[in-house]
Amino acid sequence: MNLITGAPALPEGRIIEDSIVPARAPWSVRMKAGEMLRVIDIEGQQAVDFLCFGASSHEGQIERYHMPNTIKIPKNLFVGKGSVLYSQFARPMMTVVEDSCGGHDTIFGCCSFAVDELRYGKHNAECCQRNFEREMAKHGLGPEHVVANLNLFMNVPVAPNGDCEILDGQSKPGDFVDLRAEMDVIVVISNCPQELNPAAGGGPTPVRVVVWEG
Per CB under 5 A, residues contacting Zn ion are 111, 128, 192, 194
Cα separations (Å) of 138 from 16, 82, 94, 131, 188? 20, 30, 21, 11, 10
Contact assessment for residue 44 and residue 172, using Cβ atoms and an 8 Å cutoff: yes
Shortest Å, Cβ 49 to Zn ion: 5
Nearer to Zn ion by C-beta: 84 or 192?
192
Q: Computed over its alpha carbons, how large is the radius of gyration of the chain?
A: 16
Q: How far is CA 93 from the centre of its chain?
A: 13
Nearer to Zn ion by C-beta: 146 or 183?
146
Nearer to Zn ion by C-beta: 111 or 177?
111
Say whether 51 sits in a helix, a strand or coil: strand
Shortest Å, Cβ 111 to Zn ion: 3
Say whether 198 sits in a helix, a strand or coil: helix
Contact assessment for residue 190 and residue 132, using Cβ atoms and an 8 Å cutoff: yes
Shortest Å, Cβ 114 to Zn ion: 13
Shortest Å, Cβ 105 to Zn ion: 11
| Burial call 152-191: b when 16+ CB within 10 Å, e when fewer | bbbbbeeeeeeeeebeebbbeebbbbbbbbbbbbbbbbbb
Shortest Å, Cβ 75 to Zn ion: 27
Nearer to Zn ion by C-beta: 83 or 194?
194
Nearer to Zn ion by C-beta: 36 or 189?
189
